[in-house]
């Protein structure tokens, strides 16, 4: 075990970095690495992914940064053997860190052109539907060996067919590849996957064998579609007018308040309609992307996005119960391999069937081979319904988290395969 007692990293004025040990870190570019007593694997994971954390916030937002570090301090309580992470506080961190995905999708929406999104509908509804349905059906046959019913196996397959929006888009954006053709196709496919969350969650009790289809009505779908339209229309015509009124007298706090009302208002409305909060934030950002204040909006959001997104990745590492590996390691490794291979095969074949070149198809299939954050929600719902045991839940969490952690290495393999010109790979005839 390793003990990490409020360790932070600071970037100095001379550009050098060093570790500091203190009770508070809210200014001067401080970035929290880890707090608490964790084993070596979780500590290493926390140190690696905390490099995504931000620097300074604007002055009128530094109070929020202070509160976030206070939350980090609350994660640990003193004990006889040092600092121990409290499970309930880890859940609290996980809930709050989900806002990182919300902020991230809002920024992505700000940077996109709605007309370009519409031009990607072929990839979203064509390739997206083929990937979700094909992967779900293939995994249904695999999960049937471990699930008590075909319906539950299909549910697990559909859940596993989704990929991590936060991880994939963060990787593409960091490498400047989001604007490339395969990057745009990947974005369209991820947006379609987010839309499938609504019917999957609505039918989850039915698939799990604990409910009926009476809870699923077409009104839910229409309500979700109406919510997306309202978010876009309000963001397109109302929020820019209010932002203009705040800019004229130079009311920075009012500008920021309107920004957060637009962001969280869209996220809340989408969530109330059964969609993800991230989807609502994305639509809100997309509607504001064409306004004259889009760059300032992005500057306001970026620091909090980086902080919360870093906490999100830390929370993924903290949810892993490594004690489950004892006695279940072989099964876990087999599940990880099966999920990754099936997702790569199905998506690559679907992309090639839609006349996508070998290179982009290879990159996209490897990049989307992990599971999504939605899997954590689905596994938790199945545990609450009594469909799975605590050991099965912990095993599933490890499998999902492992596929997400593998994303950078999967992307590297995809790059290598995209450059391999094999006679087994059919060439497109122009």
Per DSSP, the residues of 157-191 read HHHHH---HHHHHHHHHHTT-TTSHHHHHHHHHHH
- Give the sign of the dihedral formed by CA 305, CA 91, CA 158, CA 336: positive
| Predicted local distance difference test score (pLDDT) of residue 115 | 75
Return per-residue pLDDT of the chain as tens, 430 residues. 333 333 333 334 444 433 333 333 333 232 333 333 333 334 333 433 333 333 444 444 444 444 444 444 444 444 433 334 445 565 666 667 778 778 888 888 887 777 777 778 888 888 999 999 999 999 999 999 988 889 889 999 999 999 988 889 888 888 888 888 888 899 889 988 887 876 787 677 777 765 555 555 567 778 888 999 999 999 999 999 999 888 877 778 888 899 999 999 999 998 888 777 888 888 899 899 888 888 888 888 888 887 887 777 677 667 667 778 888 899 999 999 999 999 999 999 999 998 899 999 999 999 999 998 888 878 877 887 788 888 888 899 899 989 998 999 999 999 999 888 654 444 544 4
d(CA 253, CA 334): 52
Q: Helices (H) and strands (E) in the chain — how many of each?
A: 19, 5
- Give the sign of the dihedral formed by CA 375, CA 378, CA 384, CA 385: negative
| Predicted local distance difference test score (pLDDT) of residue 83 | 38
| Predicted local distance difference test score (pLDDT) of residue 421 | 64
| Predicted local distance difference test score (pLDDT) of residue 338 | 96
| Predicted local distance difference test score (pLDDT) of residue 170 | 84
Q: Which two tokens stand for residue 238?
A: 């109302």
CB 300 within 8 A of CB 256: yes
- The ranges of the chain annotated as CATH 1.20.1530.20 are 102-418
- Coil, helix or strand at residue 76: strand
| Residues comprising the chain, all counted | 430
| Predicted local distance difference test score (pLDDT) of residue 217 | 58
Quickly name the fold that domain 102-418 has. Na+/H+ antiporter like fold (1.20.1530)
The residues pairing with 34 across neighbouring beta strands, listed in sequence order, are 7
Name every residue whose Cβ is closer than 8 Å to that of residue 155 and which is 6 or more positions away in sequence. Answer: 200, 203, 204, 207, 208, 378
Instruction: Give the CA radius of gyration of the chain.
Output: 22
């Amino acid at each position: 075990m390793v003990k990490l007692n409020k360790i932070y990293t600071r970037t100095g004025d001379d550009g050098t970095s060093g570790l500091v040990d203190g009770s508070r870190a809210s200014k001067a570019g401080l970035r929290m690495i880890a707090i608490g007593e964790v084993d070596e694997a979780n500590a290493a994971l926390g140190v690696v992914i905390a490099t995504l954390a931000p620097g300074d916030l604007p002055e009128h937002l530094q109070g929020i940064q202070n509160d976030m570090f206070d939350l980090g301090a609350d994660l640990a309580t003193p004990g006889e053997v040092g600092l121990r992470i409290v499970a309930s506080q880890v859940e609290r961190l996980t809930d709050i860190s989900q806002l990182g995905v919300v902020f991230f999708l809002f920024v992505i929406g700000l940077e996109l052109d709605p007309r370009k999104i519409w031009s990607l509908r072929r990839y979203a509804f064509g390739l997206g539907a083929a990937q979700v349905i094909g992967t779900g059906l293939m995994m249904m046959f695999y999960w049937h060996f471990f699930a008590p019913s075909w319906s539950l196996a299909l549910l697990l397959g559909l859940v596993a067919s989704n990929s991590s929006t936060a991880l994939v888009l963060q990787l593409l954006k960091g490498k400047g590849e989001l604007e490339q053709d395969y990057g745009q196709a990947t974005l369209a496919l991820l947006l379609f996957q987010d839309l499938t969350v609504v019917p999957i969650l609505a039918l989850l009790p039915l698939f799990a064998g604990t409910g009926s289809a009476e809870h699923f009505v077409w009104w839910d779908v229409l309500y979700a579609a109406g919510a997306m339209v309202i978010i876009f229309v309000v963001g397109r015509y109302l929020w820019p007018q209010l932002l203009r009124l705040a800019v004229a007298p130079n009311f920075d706090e009012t500008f920021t308040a309107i920004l957060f009302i637009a962001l969280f208002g869209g996220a809340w409305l989408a969530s109330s309609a059964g969609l993800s909060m991230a989807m609502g934030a994305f639509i809100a950002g997309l509607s504001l992307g064409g306004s004259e204040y889009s760059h300032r909006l992005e500057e306001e959001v970026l620091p909090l996005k980086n902080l919360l997104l870093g906490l999100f990745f830390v929370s993924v590492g903290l949810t892993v119960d490594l004690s489950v590996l004892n006695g279940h390691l072989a099964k876990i490794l087999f599940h990880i391999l099966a999920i990754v291979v099936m997702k790569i095969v199905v998506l690559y074949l679907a992309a090639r069937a839609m006349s996508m070149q070998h290179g982009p198809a290879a990159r996209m299939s490897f990049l989307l081979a992990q599971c999504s954050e939605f899997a954590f929600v689905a596994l938790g719902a199945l545990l609450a319904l009594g469909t799975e045991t605590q050991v099965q839940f912990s095993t599933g969490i490890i499998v999902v988290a492992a596929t997400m952690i593998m994303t950078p290495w999967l992307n590297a393999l995809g790059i290598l395969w995209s450059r391999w010109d094999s006679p087994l790979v059919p060439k497109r005839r122009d």
